[in-house]
Structure 1
């Protein structure tokens, strides 16, 4: 299997694909992505979800483009997600499913993203990932020395086309440190010499 070289921007989500983010910092990752994607933004979360994005607390330019959808059931959420991914003018679709997706449901979402030329980001519960998604990120707050700054560790744990990695970011999205290649992918000698 051959991997593409790492892009200059490790946080760029491949277009026409569906990605996943898990962990306590998954919404911060979603807002970071929302600020980077041009065009209309759609955030789909269950009607009974206790927390919703507050327009005044969103990054500059995001609130004006954001549309919230609050379906009543998981089936309706998946239907909204698939139909929104098919809508060509949408820049980014963020959804918060409560249950793990089946392979069939995940594949349907990938096909919808390809059809609509839209990027999808699922904010999933820990360990509830779908094998059909392009990438899976684990996003957690990171303890830091400064009390006025919130550091985050964003780890790319699954990537169908490139290497994985882990980055520590400050509140502005600037990388403080990173490791591009996972320990499993490191090789100290040629492949044929190992015994």
Structure 2
């Protein structure tokens, strides 16, 4: 897995805080410019040996740049995730998500988040509450069954 960041961003990933084994599979790329960040992301996405690529573009993507990344991801069969601000993104994306932290069960629980699917070219949208305990890469869905999008109706 690759994570592509601009080299001028002060915040950096903390591999030691990741679940065991994940940090060993993560390659961090620091790009000197937005153009180099997009170029690196495109090349990584084209590589079939790469499972996933996360990039942090600092500017909204043009339709051309978004389409190039989409085609590269399709060519390599690679999952591409772009972390953008609320004004970022691209019309070429398949899905667009918004993540919001939620108040947990107590002050020690800061791992509860609401993930909202706000754009989906091939399906419906909805929202899910997830918790991550940090012991593995897996998340636990904590939304009540009746509140999940597409939950089966019961007659009673």
TM over 0.5: yes
Q: Taking structure 2 as the reference length, what is the TM-score of the superposition?
A: 0.86
Q: 1:132 — aligned with what?
A: 92
Matches of 2:89 and 2:31 in 1, distance apart? Answer: 21
Is contact 1:149–1:170 with CA below 8 Å preserved after alignment? Answer: no
Q: Taking structure 1 as the reference length, what is the TM-score of the superposition?
A: 0.69
- Shift, 1:60, TM fit: 2.1
Matches of 1:145 and 1:118 in 2, distance apart? Answer: 36
Higher relative contact order structure (alpha carbons within 8 Å, sequence separation ≥ 6): 1
| CA deviation profile, 1:77-98 (whole Å, cap 9, x unmatched) | 0000101101110000000000
Q: 2:129 — aligned with what?
A: 168
Q: Which moved more, 1:47-56 or 1:143-152?
A: 143-152
Q: 2:136 — aligned with what?
A: none
Q: 1:98 — aligned with what?
A: 58
- Structure 2 spans left out of the alignment, 5+ residues: 134-138, 151-156
Match of 2:6, SS?
Answer: coil
Match of 1:44, SS?
Answer: strand
- Shift, 1:169, TM fit: 1.4
- The reply on whether 1:49 has 2:49 as its aligned counterpart is no
Matches of 1:158 and 1:98 in 2, distance apart? Answer: 21
RMSD, aligned CA: 1.2
Match of 1:45, SS?
Answer: strand
Matches of 1:73 and 1:137 in 2, distance apart? Answer: 25
Matches of 1:127 and 1:142 in 2, distance apart? Answer: 22
**Structure 1 stretches (4+) deviating beyond 3 angstroms?**
none
- Structure 1 spans left out of the alignment, 5+ residues: 1-40, 182-195
Match of 1:101, SS?
Answer: coil
